[in-house]
Structure 1
Amino acid sequence: MAALQAPLAKSLLELEGVREVLLASGHVTVTKATIADWEELQEVVEKEISQFYQAGKPAVDPDAVESIDPQDFEEGSIEAQILELLEERVKPFVQQDGGDIEFVRFDHKDGSLYVRMVGSCSGCAMSHATLQEGVKNLMDHYLPAVKQIVGLNDEMDEDVPRPGR
């Protein structure tokens, strides 16, 4: 989503020293530029967020919100079950660390679940462990039809078909 569609992200990105902003349903993650000092930047960022919300502005343009709703799939389908597990059991923990996980697709032929880690999780060395130990173990327990987890990055992801595209 472009910062123009997310006024809070646009406002934060205009602050000197802010490199990236991730907005999730209950979290705002700000990544600082390498040269920035977080102790100096933190107060400025917190003040900007407080003023933004006090002004009553929407963090994201409601027309720009992208999500894959479990109801986009047939009730009880493997995709709907995967989305429910990701939303309820994976996302809250990943978002606490400043990242997020996105469902891309499920391949019924070989049981591959394609997901993408974003925010601080996209470049984190632990994201592989999160996917292969955390998410895979969860799927093994609840949805044995998921045989493997494939983590995509932005470059790989462009050629992967998505639901609704």
Structure 2
Amino acid sequence: MFIQTETRDDGRTIGFFPGRAVLDQGRKRFADAEAASASPLAQRIFAVDGVESVTLDGDSIVVSRTSSADWVSMKPAVLGAIMQHFTSGDPVLVEAPEVSDAPEAAPADSLEDEADPEVRAKLIDLITTRIRPAVTQSGGEIEYKWVRDGILYLHLAGAGLQMKAGIENMLRHYLPEIQAVRDWRESLPKPGLGTDRGQAIARFLDERINPSVASHGGHIALVDVQDDRVFIRLEGGCHGCGMADVTLKQGVEVEIKRAFPDISAVLDVTDHASGNNPYYQA
């Protein structure tokens, strides 16, 4: 069995092409070994030390390593795991609840797609043929969700979040009826943002924090305020940056706590190492 490989731009991700179908349709991403219980193939790959995530596609298996791991020792082991799977006769997927980064239940009204069928078809075609190849090549994810009030909501992960501005510019060029592009999680209810304290923290970020962060190409977005916790998202140049945790803990969190003493924790909804979103999974 000959398996071709392709190293992605980030150096931490390799695509493995076994020369046969992996999934009949769709795409499955497993963020850890526990999530991979639905896939014997992914379980075998996670048995290799240093594997961070596994994504199964139509004809490929995309594997990302942790920052401390080394492909020199990992790559032969991953190749062996893939070969072992395809010679075992085991299925790629078994019957199990679908693995997703989405919350267990999103508000029903968030699922209504207001896009005109012709506009929807054009959007999906542009995303599939022009945008997704670049996003996946960089180790990211993108998926059409819905259109509400002229805003296109997408599932974005990894490099997809970093490329959001470029994606928006392209889609708005071809389809002027699209006013903005947002990650679909932006549509989820965030009651804390409507409170006086939530609005005060939002102003503080815009006036005190973001001007400094913007000088480095980054942006801090306020996601929600729950009790004594503030949830933010590091965007732009901050997303995936090796100094993201330092920026959060030694900079943003200190400033917010100083201005709002009742806040006990400032949490980033994106785990920059694995791409998980613990806030949205809660």
Tell me if TM exceeds 0.5. Answer: yes
| Deviation at residue 34 of structure 1 after TM alignment | 3.3
The size of the alignment, in residue pairs, is 146
Does the CA contact (< 8 Å) of 1:22 and 1:99 recur in 2? no
Aligned-partner Cα distance in 2 for 1:157–1:144: 31
| Deviation at residue 78 of structure 1 after TM alignment | 2.9
Does the CA contact (< 8 Å) of 2:151 and 2:181 recur in 1? yes
Tell me which of 73, 85, 91 is aligned to 1:52: 85
Equivalent runs, 1:76-115 vs 2, <5 Å: 76-107=117-148, 109=149, 111-115=150-154
Does the CA contact (< 8 Å) of 1:3 and 1:10 recur in 2? yes
| Deviation at residue 24 of structure 1 after TM alignment | 2.5
Does the CA contact (< 8 Å) of 1:114 and 1:149 recur in 2? yes
Query: Are 1:38 and 2:71 counterparts?
Result: yes
Does the CA contact (< 8 Å) of 2:38 and 2:94 recur in 1? yes
Does the CA contact (< 8 Å) of 2:115 and 2:147 recur in 1? no
Does the CA contact (< 8 Å) of 1:27 and 1:98 recur in 2? no
Residue aligning to 1:139: 171
Residue aligning to 2:246: none
| Deviation at residue 53 of structure 1 after TM alignment | 2.3
Question: TM-score under structure 2 normalisation?
Answer: 0.43
- Going from structure 1 to structure 2, the CA distance change for 1:32 and 1:132 (only over 3 Å counts) comes to same
Tell me which of 167, 171, 181 is aligned to 1:149: 181
Deviation string 1:33-90 (CA, Å, 9 cap, x unpaired) is: 3332221111111221122223343323477668xxxxx9998343333222212222
Does the CA contact (< 8 Å) of 2:142 and 2:156 recur in 1? yes
Does the CA contact (< 8 Å) of 1:73 and 1:79 recur in 2? no
Alignment partner of 1:91: what SS?
A: helix
Aligned-partner Cα distance in 2 for 1:38–1:55: 25
Alignment partner of 1:85: what SS?
A: helix
Structure with larger Rg: 2
Aligned-partner Cα distance in 2 for 1:42–1:17: 10
- Going from structure 1 to structure 2, the CA distance change for 1:17 and 1:85 (only over 3 Å counts) comes to same
Aligned-partner Cα distance in 1 for 2:280–2:177: 22
Tell me which of 11, 24, 28 is aligned to 2:44: 11
% same residue: 26
| Deviation at residue 101 of structure 1 after TM alignment | 0.8
Q: Identify which of structures 1 and 2 has the higher relative contact order when contacts are C-alpha pairs closer than 8 Å and 6+ apart.
A: 1
Alignment partner of 1:98: what SS?
A: coil
- Going from structure 1 to structure 2, the CA distance change for 1:136 and 1:24 (only over 3 Å counts) comes to same
Aligned-partner Cα distance in 1 for 2:127–2:94: 24
Question: TM-score under structure 1 normalisation?
Answer: 0.68
Deviation string 1:103-147 (CA, Å, 9 cap, x unpaired) is: 23211x2x21122223xxx2x4x843x2211x2233123222111
- Going from structure 1 to structure 2, the CA distance change for 1:143 and 1:96 (only over 3 Å counts) comes to same
User: Where does structure 1 lack aligned partners over 5 or more consecutive residues?
Assistant: 67-71, 160-165
| Deviation at residue 148 of structure 1 after TM alignment | 0.9
Give the letter aligned to residue 30 of structure 1: V
